[in-house]
Structure 1
Amino acid sequence: MSLGCFFSAVACASAVAIEPLSQGQSVRANIDQAQPPRWRITLNAGDLIQGKVVGDVSLRLLNAQAQPLRLLVDGADLPRDFMFVAAQDGQYLLRAEPLASRPQAEFTLTLNQVLPLSQQHPSPPPLLSPTLRHLAEQLEQGGSSQAFWKDREQQGTPLVEAVNDSPNERLVTFLWRGAQRNVRLFGAPSGGHDLLQRLAESDVWYASYRVPSSARLSYQLAPDVPEAGDRRTLLATAQRDPLNPHRFGNHNYEPSVTRSIMELPDAAPQPWSRKRVDVALGTLQRASLTSSILGNTRDVYVYRPAGWQNTGNDRGLLVLFDAHAYTRQVPTPAILDNLIADGLIPPTAALIIANPSDETRPVELPPNPEFARFMAEELMPWAEQQGLSAEAKHTVVAGSSYGGLASAWLGLKHPELFGNVLSLSGSYWWSPAGTEDQWLTRQYVTSPRLPLRFYLQAGLFEGKPGASSAGILDSNRQLRNVLQAKGYSVDHVEYASGHDYLQWRGSLACGLISLLGISSDTPKACVPIAL
């Protein structure tokens, strides 16, 4: 018996005998160079083995015939934890091997875990929904999901339930029936494209979230997303929720290009986003503008309110990016018609600027000196020729995401033209390649204070948990802090929402009221619920 033999609960390993080793067992020994100690373990194919060696020895995995398979621990290095997967059923050997520098070293070998293949699937998250817990009990007793789905057809989805210990929250469960492999939620409150879980072996797929009772978002569900490809692959099957009657977009569209709406009871109203029969309508005309600076041509949609006059010191002008969205998902002309009719803003025209292509958007909208030249030297003089101009203090440059970033950039570069920045979920995390993130915020730190006013809005569902760089929510807060420290007028609001045109159609109206408003009173619809 070796000199490293110990008494009590710890087994004593012989340098000669090949003794069995089982899960949770520890053995202590010292190295005999002539006959290194070995232990036998019996495994099934797919078993995951995890263990640890304490001491200056190496550890090698052998097959039943003592042929080397894998070096598990290099005793001259760290760490000393090891793991491997059994390739087939049968017996394996673990052999301790001496280091040349420590020929008589004592050591301890512990086999911490042998995890069968059948247990290597992650455990599903706990069922938060009382309704789903009740259904799970019925399924365990041999019942079916038929009554559950009948209720959902009548009541709609997602499933919304109270949170007993938090009256200002709701438990929202998104549901899909009958997928084969997986379901993803596009527009999740987490800010990601989350996987739904399957309830036992049933046809019920679910994902539950605790969210503020003021939450609003649009979403799609993507069943059986192909495993190949990147995160955009979910677009191959994404569609609106078939059991949710509330739709965002043209209701005549196919399910694949329509989103579903989730609005909880305390979500701020959006009273200006629908056409009213009793409101005088402005006009919207599409024009084409060619830029010699940028070498491309784009559409510009020109909105003139009813009774628009080309003169007057109090008239406003909105310059807005991403016409593909702000003439459709966000009904900008209707919003302006209603705000003007309600006496909340002065008569305000708009230039709604299209992107020449998908490829030009991420090149032009993030801070780009040539695009700033185009805006100052070509677009704004052209607009004046169309009878659309206003003093800088009555001109708002606005956009969302990259468009919000572009708006703050243009305010910095040309405050003589754009005296108001309306930014919806601006992408202030952005920076040029190879530089620290939040580049534009740093430019505001070092620049003198300019004659600018700001409306910044971001969603609580736009964070980046665990990310090494700031997301939209955090970078908007950082810009707010910098602007306030510099003495700027900043209206900063946060809603229980995501990166979402459904929210932005309300926030566009509130931003215009904040920056161009005739009254000092803030409408109730523009006061976020305290969170």
Structure 2
Amino acid sequence: MACASALAVEPLSQGQSVRASVAKTLQPSWSLDLKAGDLVQGKVVGDVSLRLLDARGNPLRLLVDGADMSRDFMFVAREDGQYLLRAEQLSTRPQAEFTLTLSQVLALSEQQRAPAALLSPALGQLAEQLKQGATTQAFWKDREQQGTPLVEALADSPNERLVTFLWRGARQNVRLFGSPSGGHDALQRLGDSDVWYATYRVPSSARLSYQLAPDVPEAGDRRTLLATAQRDPLNPHSFGNQKYEPSLTRSVMELPDAPPQPWLNKRAHVAPGSVERESLKSEILGNTRDVYVYRPAGWNNIDQQPGLLVLFDAHAYTHQVPTPTILDNLIADGLIPPTAALIIANPSDETRPVELPPNADFARFMAQELMPWAKQQGLATDARHTVVAGSSYGGLASAWLGLQHPELFGNVLSLSGSYWWSPPNTEDQWLARQYAANPRLPLRFYLQAGLFEDKSGSPGAGILDSNRQLRNVLQAKGYPVEHVEYASGHDYLQWRGSLACGLISLIGKSPETPEACVPVALR
């Protein structure tokens, strides 16, 4: 360790430490020869300040304030040339001794972020092959034959899998819409190859739908990815648009332990119910909407207490989720009583976020217009056999209507309900606080959320956490609650199975839960 001269400006090099003392008339300095963009890091031990100067002695930046606790410093050279580090005395510690260490000088060319470690063994093997001069041709041929995403076992965790989403040949970026993280994640490029990838460690019971968006324009907000989003071309399993239009269809990932969904497909031996689309005008809301009326086969000859399902978001629950077929099969299997359904459409995209979050006028519409109209259709039943249901905002609306009108809706079926919601300028999770503040009502609940709907690291609660909080509030108040979590996201692919399980839970005819409705972790 060198000792600084009182007058000379000595050079300082990476890894070097120097010891010196400072006084009012003595401000030792050291010189650094740097290139533009160099990242400089170091440390001072002792009660002095340290200032950065240019070659002419003009101050550029105070690196260390000796009066503060931090003694580490860091700066980036603005241009090529010589720089000075000057120690300065503190008035409270005259003639202090100190040590200055220059820990690192990192050139701009060395500052590229190291690629993340490859979790996928298959990609690790490919990376080694590419280093030896191989191409990706064989890798992509395997993917064409075996499909995507790439799924690999974990020797140390049989209940998990490594899942790698892949895209071939993008120019600048690829985004994953519907990822297990709950976000719109960026895929990484494997070196300079045509392989773009994102790998996740997920439960072996995971189920989700997704799209990939290559070469998303940099301008615009997060919705811009919809401009190129499409189903995975190497995944043969699709969900959504029945015409299989790539931009309107999502690809399906279902791992081996994903719970079965046995009530989705029409059965030749099951008589289908009828579905009629009606138009209902609301004087309260000042708009008109479609309502799809489902009546099970043999509805006019029922000799038992019927059920009624009131379900939001008809655009999804008549297309992506085959609600009439689900009801046909549940009734045929003897799992629920003959149950009619009102599947309610939104007048427009703009009305949905206004009407479904707790809205007094919408609650009046449901109680004073929709339900009396349903009675005229011959669909009336008592509240104990009526289920109000929905997903996302629809789940929030269902729980709100149960609170407002338990005399009409005795069962709340909520799929990934948006319980983080609150009115403007209020604390989040407003509805949970309303349930906590009110007396217990004659209501039953089925709450489902996805493990991929976590919002860790973000302000406020997300879907998963806010559903757990509502569950806690309801249980503390003494409500009957079935709360289930699946390895899924905010996803109709999961909700179409959970809708059936929720109906079985709330108005089912058997005390036993079908295996398809038991989350894998509980089996």
- TM-score bracket for this pair, using the shorter chain length: over 0.9
Cross-structure match for 2:6: 15
User: Would you say 1:421 and 2:412 are equivalent positions?
Assistant: yes
Please tell me whether residue 322 in structure 1 is matched to residue 313 in structure 2: yes
Q: Percent identity?
A: 80
Q: Which residue of 1 aligns with 2:216?
A: 225
Cα offsets for 1:355-375 (capped at 9, x unmatched): 222222222212222221121
Letter in 1 for 2:429: Q
**Deviation readout 1:79-113 (Å, 9 max, x if unpaired):** 44432222222222122334555554444433333
* Matches of 1:187 and 1:373, distance apart in 2: 35
The alpha carbon displacement at 1:473 in A equals 1.3
**Contact 2:52–2:63 (8 Å) recurs in 1:** yes
Question: Which residue pairs with 1:7 in the alignment?
Answer: none
**Alpha-carbon distance in 1 for matches of 2:55, 2:301:** 92
Is the CA contact 1:313–1:391 (under 8 Å) kept in the aligned structure 2?
A: no
Distance in 1, Cα, partners of 2:296 & 2:87: 85
**Equivalent residue for 1:515, pick from 501, 506, 519:** 506
2:426: which partner in 1? 435
Q: Supply the distance in 2 between the matched residues of 1:55 and 1:96 (Cα, whole angstroms).
A: 11
Q: 2:482 corresponds to which residue?
A: 491
CA displacement 1:276-332 (0-9 Å, x = unmatched)? 232212222222222222232222222222222398661111111111111111111
Question: Matched residues in 2 for 1:492 and 1:367: separation?
Answer: 22
2:266–2:325 CA contact under 8 A, matched in 1? yes
CA deviations over 1:15-40 (Å, ceiling 9, x no partner): 32111222333333333444522211
1:411 is aligned to 2:411: no
1:296 aligns with 2:302: no
Amino acid at match of 1:47: D
Describe the superposition over 1:402-426 as per-residue Cα deviations: whole angstroms up to 9, x where unpaired: 1111111111111100000001011
Q: Structure 1 residue 63 and structure 2 residue 54: aligned?
A: yes
Query: 2 CA distance for matches of 1:223 and 1:367?
Result: 38
How many Å separate the matches in 1 of 2:271 and 2:39? 71
Pairing of 1:453-492 with structure 2 (within 5 A): 453-492=444-483
1:200 matched to 2:188? The reply is no
Which residue matches 1:381? 372
Residue 433 of structure 1 aligns with an amino acid whose one-letter code is P
Q: State the alpha-carbon separation in 2 of the partners of residues 25 and 325 from structure 1.
A: 67
- 1:214-258 Cα offsets, whole Å, 9 max, x none, are 111001111122222222222121111010000001342321111
What CA distance in whole angstroms lies between the structure 1 residues aligned with 2:6 and 2:295? 93
Report whether the alignment pairs 1:123 with 2:114: yes
RMSD: 2.0
Give the deviation of 1:54 after TM superposition: 4.2
Q: 1:12 to 1:348 in 2, by over 3 A?
A: same
Q: Aligned residue for 1:240? A: 231
Q: Which residue of 1 aligns with 2:326?
A: 335
Unpaired runs of 5+ residues, structure 1, are 1-9
Q: Does residue 1:361 correspond to 2:352, yes or no?
A: yes
Amino acid at match of 1:399: G
For the 8 Å contact 2:23–2:96, the answer to whether it is kept is: no
- Give the distance between the partners of 2:14 and 2:409, measured in 1 at CA: 70
What amino acid is aligned across from residue 100 of structure 2 in structure 1?
Answer: L
Q: Report if aligned partners of 2:241, 2:248 keep a CA contact under 8 Å in 1.
A: no
> How many Å separate the matches in 2 of 1:121 and 1:401?
41
TM, length-normalised to structure 2: 0.95
TM-score where L is the length of structure 1: 0.93
Q: Show the counterpart of 1:283.
A: 274
CA–CA separation in structure 2 for the residues paired with 1:441 and 1:224: 41
Distance (Å, rounded) in 1 between the aligned partners of 2:48 and 2:348: 63
C-alpha contact (below 8 Å) 1:189/1:209 kept by paired residues:
yes
In structure 1, distance between residues paired with 2:347 and 2:68: 57
Change (3 A) 1:515 1:114: same
Contact 1:310 1:387 (8 Å CA) reproduced: no
Q: In 1, Cα distance between the equivalents of 2:358 and 2:71? A: 50
Question: Which structure 2 segments of 5+ residues have no match?
Answer: none
Tell me if the contact between 2:238 and 2:244 (Cα under 8 Å) persists in the aligned partners.
no
Residue range with higher mean Cα deviation, 402-411 or 380-389: 380-389
Please state if 1:505 is matched with 2:496.
Answer: yes
